[in-house]
């Protein structure tokens, strides 16, 4: 990845040369695949001209690109997590609802993989938040509720795991993995199976 361009850092105010210069630098970095350096510039531009469709499209492109780059890396690497966080920040910086199926599916993968990353480091609050987001983005998969229940159990919240699993099993009544996880939650809660 290339280094940030010389001049004031974007978080200290508008980029040197104004909004257009900040956008141009952000675009060059984005086109070069330096998502991490492009994000603060483009976020600053978005704050200066909120709702600008061109900038929204650019931030969506950044979110997609960072996610795709992260998906090419092993989930548990800090580099992948940094790119997933960058992707999520890019999507959030648009200030708009993400409704396209492809973006929702990609965002679900981002959230799920961030949940897995934080779960692997026993950072339960972060894992829970990201697994919940993955579940909200697409409840049609049983992997997010399964992993979320596992984290809740490990974090000493088996009753919360049971409540979430009961709701998930309404959608996935034949899921053996959710049934197994429910049995684990019951055991952890000290309830008979």
Look at residue 87 in the predicted model and tell me its pLDDT.
Answer: 98
Residue 78, number of CB atoms within 10 A of its CB = 10
For position 12, what pLDDT does the model report?
41
Q: What are phi and psi of 99, to 5 degrees?
A: -120, -15
In whole angstroms, give the CA distance from residue 12 to residue 42: 13
Given a contact cutoff of 8 angstroms between Cβ atoms, the answer to whether 42 and 55 are in contact is yes
Burial class (CB in 10 A: 0-12, 13-18, 19+), 173: exposed
C-alpha dihedral sign at 137, 143, 149, 152: negative
Instruction: Match domain 98-193 to its CATH number in 1.10.10.10, 3.40.250.10, 1.25.40.10, 3.10.310.30.
Output: 1.25.40.10
Q: Quick check: do 6-96 and 98-193 share a fold?
A: yes
Q: What is the 3-state secondary structure (H, E, C) of 1-28?
A: CCCCCCCCCHHHCCCCCHHHHHHHHHHH
Q: CA-CA distance, 148 to 146, in Å (whole number)?
A: 5
Burial group, residue 48, by CB count within 10 angstroms (0-12, 13-18, 19+): middle
Distances (CA, A) of 55 to 60, 91, 117, 122: 9, 11, 30, 36
- The low-confidence residues of the chain, meaning pLDDT below 70, are 1-17, 193
List the chain domain ranges.
Answer: 6-96, 98-193
Contact criterion met (CB below 8 Å) for 87 and 117: no
pLDDT of residue 18: 79
pLDDT tens, residue by residue, 27-49: 999 999 999 999 999 999 999 99
| Under 8 Å between Cβ of 134 and 111 | yes
The matching CATH number, chosen from 1.25.40, 3.40.50, 2.60.40, 1.10.287, for 6-96 is: 1.25.40
Position 29 scores a pLDDT of 97
């Amino acid at each position: 990845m290339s280094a940030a361009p010389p001049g004031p850092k974007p978080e200290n105010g508008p980029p040197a040369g104004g909004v257009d210069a900040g956008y141009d630098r952000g675009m060059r970095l984005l086109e070069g695949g330096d998502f991490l350096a492009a994000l603060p510039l483009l976020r600053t531009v978005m704050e200066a001209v909120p709702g600008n469709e061109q900038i929204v499209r650019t931030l969506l492109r950044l979110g997609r690109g960072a996610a795709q780059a992260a998906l090419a890396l092993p989930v548990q690497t800090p580099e992948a997590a940094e790119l997933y966080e960058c992707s999520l920040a890019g999507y959030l910086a648009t200030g708009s609802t993400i409704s396209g199926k492809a973006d929702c599916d990609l965002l679900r993968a981002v959230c799920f993989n961030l949940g897995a990353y934080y779960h692997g480091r026993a950072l339960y609050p972060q894992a829970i938040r990201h697994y919940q987001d993955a579940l909200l983005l697409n409840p049609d998969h049983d992997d997010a509720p399964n992993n979320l229940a596992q984290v809740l159990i490990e974090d000493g919240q088996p009753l919360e795991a049971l409540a979430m699993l009961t709701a998930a099993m309404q959608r996935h009544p034949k899921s053996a993995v959710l049934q197994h996880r429910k049995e684990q939650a019951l055991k952890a809660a000290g309830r008979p199976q």
